[in-house]
Amino acid sequence: MTNQKLVYLSKGIPQDKIYNGSEFRSGIWKTQADELIVHSGQIEEDQVANPQYHGGPDRVVCLYPFEHYAQWEKEFGQPLSNSAFGENLTVTGMREDQVCIGDIYQIGEAVLQISQGRYPCATINKRNGNNLLLKRIVETGYTGYFFRVLQPGRITATSAITQLSAHPAHITVASIHHLYFHDKHPSQETMQRMIEVAELAEPWRKKLLEKLQSQGKESVDAN
């Protein structure tokens, strides 16, 4: 894989915002940074507002592919600000269909492992003032994804990205998103293969197990 490059780094703490007259609190608003100090549980000066659905050891670092920005700006005819999706790393050459669950990368001093795709929520619409964006993100699978931290360290704006290992199962972030959101009748073999990837974060394993069990029930009911 070539042309993996940091475009910019971002971090931020939760802020109170108003959208359509309602107040809410979110950590999706981040500002560009010269460096990120990455610990095993979180990035310094970077926090989530709702730990039930965000953050935790499998969701320490969020990456969003820079290539998608051009897609959204062309489609909606408006520019996007930096870290428009609340990501910490905006990167070229690492789209969801180019990376796999369990792949390990060194970025600066930090060693990171891809743990799950992002389950997008409506806060993305609020962040960008666009009520159609979430729907399109789900349709395209342009969600971004998360890393767990294997080795804490400092990432700077000029840090190199090096892939240390590729997971042997080769389950892309894009393939899990497609199976969960779009594949109405996935094979049980395919689903089982994804579920058995030990490096997949538990919330996504649970989602896939529920889908597998639901499909099994439908099969029984049909008979």
Tens of pLDDT, residues 30-76: 999 999 999 999 999 997 756 655 668 999 999 999 999 999 999 99
Helix, coil or strand: residue 178? helix
Report yes or no: 201 and 146 within 8 Å, Cβ to Cβ.
yes
Whole-prediction pTM: 0.93
Of the candidate CATH numbers 1.20.58.110, 1.10.8.50, 2.40.33.20, 3.60.21.10, the domain formed by 5-173 belongs to 2.40.33.20
Dig out the tokens for 103 from the structure: 């792949």
Distance CA 126, CA 145 (A): 19
pLDDT more than 90, % of the chain: 77
Residues 210, 214, 220, 221, Cα dihedral to 10°: 150
> What is the per-residue pLDDT for 217?
59
Distance CA 57, CA 59 (A): 6
Distance CA 39, CA 56 (A): 11
